[in-house]
Every structure is written in C-alpha cells, then in structure tokens.
Amino acid sequence: MHRAAAIWVALFTWTPPALAQDAPQPAPSPSYGHDPGADAPGHGPEEADAPAAEPDAPEPDRLGPGEGPSDVRFVDAAADRVGLFSTAETHPEGTLFFSDYELLLLQAGYALTDSVQVALTGVPPVLDGQHWFLDLTVKGNIVRSEHIRAALLGSVVGVFDGDGESAWGARLGAVAQLCFDSDCWSSLSVNTNAFVTTSSYLPVLGAIGLVGRLSELVALYLEPAYMLVIGERDVFGVDGMLLTYGMRLSGTRWAVDVALLKPIGQDLATGGPFLFGVPGLALTYRTDGSARRDGSAPPAASTP
C-alpha cells in the first residue's frame, strides 16, 4: 500500500527533461539602471557611442615671475645687489648669506621669506682708535613682475669713534629695477637712499646700476653714484661722483666681484697707479635656502 502511494506521487511530480528546458526562467533581480550585458565587451550603447579618449592636457604653468629655477635669484648668489648698491631682489626664503668687501667690510643676512630679508653690515673695530659702523637693514620686495621689480629698504645706522662716542641715524631707500629678460639676468636698477639724522641736513644718495649677463657664470656691471645734500633752503651736490665697474663670476651659492672704484670730480680725481680706479674685491657665499629649485611651484602657489 505504501509502495503504491509512493509510485503515484513520483509520477505526478516528475517532469520530462524537454519540458524542464522550456520552463520560464525567473525574472532577473532589478539592477537600478545597470544593464548586466553592458559589462561584456562590445555591449551597451554608452560604449558604442563614447568618443575616443583625448590625451591629458598639460597643467598650466603656475610659477609666477621670479619663481622659476632659471631666475637670477636662483642662479646668481649676488643677485640682491649690483656692485655697492642694491637691486630690487631678495634671496630665496631660508637663505643665509655672507659677503666680504675689501676684507674689512663684512655683511651677514638671512631671508625671512621669499620677499623679505635682513642684513647686518659693518666694519668691526679691529684697531685701537678706529672709527667703525654698523648698518642693520630690512629689505622687502614689493613688485615682482616679468619686467619690473621694486623694493623698499629701511635701516638703523650707528657710527662709533675710537673715544666711545657714537652717532645714530636711519636710512630709508627705494629701488626700481627694469629687467631686460623674463628671468632678469640683465637689468637696470635705480637706487635712492636718504639718511635721516638729528642734523638739519638730509644727505640723499642715488645710484644707477646696469648689469649685463654674458653667461650663467659671467656678468659685467656699471654703477655710477652721486650724493645730494638737502639743507633748510638749499640743495647742493657733493663735488664728485663714484663710478664702480667690474666683472662678476657667480654660481647658485657663491659670487666673486672684481671691480674698479673711480672717483670722478675736480677734487676727487685720482691719477698715478689708480688712473682707472682703486681695485675692489667682493666675495659672497650663501646657503641653498628652502625655495624650490626644481621648477615646481612654491607651496602657496600650488593651491588650486
């Protein structure tokens, strides 16, 4: 009895193989807009109609004037001056720099930012009864465009004699620099300095500096300077002008200036062995600083 019932149940539940193949398949689960067949190569309208991929466009140059690795600020360790007077440029941020003029006139400084530096210049008291001085200068670049650069300077000056007496004053200056190329390798600088003291006279010293760079190593420069003295009602010039001209050999960390200093004027003209001027030597060394020299933008300029 139980065997017969089992046979009847099996007959009613068994389906022939041909019918099983024709049975309807379950509906696919919803894909929320995704076509499963689109994952296969050659399927889907999006892939068929998609345009060919274009090559990535180069990123725009984000380096501004004076920021590129070939700018004079990075290739010339003495780019912040012509001969004796300043240009409108500063050293790269984080740079320590040292200069020695004629062995006795020393300078040490540091670039606080990429546009502001401080420098202490002076003649140390090495002889008894010697007059000596110190000049603490802050220099800030305020314009750095492709062909025009400008800076302001302010300093405190102290002069000391061998008897312990001293005199103090301030020096205010401005520099405008015209660059003949985008990296300012060759330029013309106009420098003006006014010395403010307790005296009723105001000395004003002006200089024009022309730098012509022949190569990354060699540059020539010419720098005439002249002083005016402004009194209560009169303005008169010192009878004479100082002309500095010479050659500079420089790299990214060092510079050597070989120059002649020629006083020009009736009372200041020199002859004899110094017909062409008094020889002058200036040595400069600086550290590498924290500015980027690989062509990448500084951190502030890399922000989109």
3-state secondary structure 150-197: EEEEEEEEEEECCCCCEEEEEEEEEEEEEECCCCCCCEEEEEEEEEEC
**Could you list the pLDDT tens digit for every one of the 304 residues in the chain?**
444 444 444 444 444 444 444 445 555 544 444 455 445 555 545 444 555 555 554 444 567 888 889 999 999 999 999 999 999 999 999 999 999 998 889 999 999 999 999 999 999 888 877 888 999 999 999 999 989 999 999 999 999 887 778 889 999 999 999 999 999 999 999 999 999 988 888 999 999 999 999 998 999 999 999 998 888 767 777 777 999 999 999 999 999 999 999 988 755 555 566 788 899 999 999 998 874 444 444 444 333 3
Q: How far is CA 27 from CA 39, 78, 135, 181, 268, in A?
A: 19, 81, 90, 74, 108
Rounded CA-CA distance 189/223 in Å is 9
Torsion on CA atoms 134, 135, 136, 140, rounded to nearest 10: -170
pTM of the predicted structure, to 2 decimals = 0.73
Short-list 80, 83, 85, CA closest to 277: 83
